Amino acid sequence: MFGEFSEQELEKISNCFKPKTVLKNSILLSEGSICKEFYFINKGCIRTYFIDKNGHEKTRYVMLDKHIGTALTSFVAQRPSIEIVEAIGDTELLVINHSDFFSLNKEMDSWKNFYQRILEMAYSFQNRKIEQLVTLTAKQRYENVLKENPILIQCLSNRVLASYLDIREETLSRLKSK
């Protein structure tokens, strides 16, 4: 899906990833910290979110089983994050640190291609999300998630799902009851 690697490359890559288990509600990255880790979610769920000026959570991205991600802006730039990364449930991760990630990028064209795909997918995802926030109603955004990613409705609490859809919990409850 993300790249083609030789057996030798896969071995080198897998040696860079370390297993990490985190409990539900664990904070993997706090606002203001520099993101040093990139995650492969083996089993479980993590999310990235912001706290807006009114103190409301705004979930940007949810990573489920077999997904990858991190607070990408902070990870790439090595600047303090405005995002928080949290485990939504007990989660088993494979983690690569910033140094190893970018060492692989220098050493392997296949990893560069993988990294380019990550950036392209992140850009496309964020653009679609912004487009939906600007052009769709709350009901349409909910229906999109129901159609395109129904597992989120099953896995996320109403509070987190509402923050992902950028709607109030009361609105989400009304939409779910219809």
Listed by start position, the domains of the chain span 7-124, 136-178
| Closest by Cα among 45, 48, 40, 47 to 19 | 40
| Closest by Cα among 46, 58, 55, 54 to 83 | 58
Q: How far is the C-alpha of 39 from the C-alpha of 2, rounded, in Å?
A: 14
Phi and psi at residue 84, to the nearest 5°:
-120, 140
Q: How confident is the model at residue 2 (pLDDT cuts 50, 70, 90)?
A: low
| Closest by Cα among 124, 117, 126 to 58 | 126
Residue 8 near residue 81, CB atoms below 8 Å = no
Pick the CATH number of 7-124 from 2.60.120.10, 3.40.50.720, 3.40.50.2300, 2.60.40.1180: 2.60.120.10
pLDDT tens column, 48-74: 999 999 999 999 999 999 999 999 999
Non-local (6+) Cβ contacts of 103 within 8 A are 16
pLDDT tens column, 106-133: 999 999 999 999 999 999 999 999 999 9
Q: How confident is the model at residue 8 (pLDDT cuts 50, 70, 90)?
A: very high
Q: How far is the C-alpha of 16 from the C-alpha of 101, rounded, in Å?
A: 8
What does 64-121 look like in DSSP terms, one character per residue?
-TT-EE--HHHHHHT-B-S-EEEESS-EEEEEEEHHHHHHHHHH-HHHHHHHHHHHHH
Strand partners, 147: none
Residue 113 near residue 3, CB atoms below 8 Å = yes
Question: What mean pLDDT, rounded, does the chain reach?
Answer: 94
Q: How far is the C-alpha of 151 from the C-alpha of 75, rounded, in Å?
A: 27
